Amino acid sequence: MKVIQYTKNSIAAAVIGGCLVLLPSGTANAQKASSTEQAAIENALRKLDAEWSAAASARDLDKTVSYYSNDAVVLPPNAPLASTPMAIRAQWKKDIDSMIGGGWKPTRVEVAKSGDMAYVSGTYTFNFKDAGGKTVEDRGKYLEVWERQADGSWKCGADAWNSDLPAAP
23 to 1, 6, 12, 60, 95: CA distances (angstroms): 21, 13, 5, 51, 54
**Complex with its own copies: residue 50 or 112, whichever CB lies closer:** 112
**Complex with its own copies: residue 13 or 62, whichever CB lies closer:** 13
Residue 23 is a binding residue for its own copies (CB under 8 A): yes
Q: Is the dihedral of CA 129, 163, 146, 158 positive or negative?
A: negative
**Complex with its own copies: residue 60 or 108, whichever CB lies closer:** 108
Q: How far is the CB of 143 from its own copies (least distance, A)?
A: 4
127 close to 136: Cβ distance less than 8 angstroms: yes
Instruction: List, in sequence order, every residue forming a beta bridge with 126; answer none if it has no partner.
Output: 102, 138
Q: How far is the CB of 58 from its own copies (least distance, A)?
A: 25
Residue 78: CB atoms within 10 Å: 7
Residue 150 is a binding residue for its own copies (CB under 8 A): yes
Cα–Cα dist 144/74, whole Å: 9
**Which of 51, 60, 97, 116 is the binder for its own copies (CB under 8 A)?**
116
Residue 9 is a binding residue for its own copies (CB under 8 A): no
Contacting residues toward its own copies, per CB under 8 A: 1, 16-21, 23-30, 32-34, 73, 75-81, 108, 110, 112-119, 121, 123, 131, 141-143, 145, 147, 150, 157-169
